[in-house]
Amino acid sequence: MGVIFIIWEQHAHMYKRPIETDIVLVDIIDFSRLNMPNQLELISYLSQSYKKMIHKMLKNSGIPLDKMLQGIIPTGDGFYCILHPSLKGFGSILGLSFIHFSDFIAREYPYFQGLRVAVHTGSIYRFEDILGHDNFVGDGLNECARYVEIKNLVVSTVFISETAYEALQGFLEDHHDFAELLTKCEFKHSSRHTFNDKHNIQRSGYLIWMRKGGIIPPPKPDWLLTPKRRIDAL
């Protein structure tokens, strides 16, 4: 009985610890205005396409899914991606990969209006939902949602919060090969944007984009790296 209690206590403690990580929000533009058959057709195609994209990224990087994404949370018009904390800073690059792949979706479905993608680095909590699955809650999710509200979000760009921008800079300092790859892809960012969200809270961040888009997999774990490693867009 004592062993069971200790295991339960450790499990409960794990769920009480906040997780500081990147959160990527993908929002389908005007999804709720589509008729139900088109909604089903579009979300099914998008889900399967991104599933294949993520598995290709994982295969290239040699890591399991749970070392890249801790969870995916559906929303009414899209989904959140919760990255593993060890990949903090990579979320902005993942957002750019999502945007790049959306161009292929637009060719298949003329009624697809595109995506709004926002990235925020913040705190969340893991909890067990009614069905016994891991789920997430916290300020990080709510704050990330505010960044898709920016009015001048340009097509083929990702809006990242200031904390996500700082995390990206730290990631690129630790992974010089990714910094070189972004330079080759002509990575750009805007000046600092400041706006008031729907709760009249002032927020700020940056638009980012790549002139030469691509799908960029996460870094390989240390045990798979060679002295002269090289990363390429897929």
Put residue 58 in one of left, alpha, beta given phi > 0 → left and psi -120 to 50 → alpha. Answer: alpha
Query: What pLDDT sits at residue 232?
Result: 61
Instruction: Please compute Rg for the chain using Cα positions.
Output: 18
**What is the token pair recorded at 179?**
């910094």
Query: What pLDDT sits at residue 223?
Result: 46
Backbone CA torsion sign across 203, 101, 137, 55: negative
Q: Give the Cα separation of 76 and 98 in Å (integer).
A: 18
Sites in the chain below the pLDDT cut of 50: 2-8, 10, 223-224, 227-228
Q: Among candidates 119, 141, 31, 40, which has minimal Cα distance to 76? A: 31
Domains of the chain: 15-224 (3.30.70.1230)
Report yes or no: 216 and 96 within 8 Å, Cβ to Cβ: yes
Report yes or no: 99 and 115 within 8 Å, Cβ to Cβ: yes
Query: What pLDDT sits at residue 230?
Result: 52
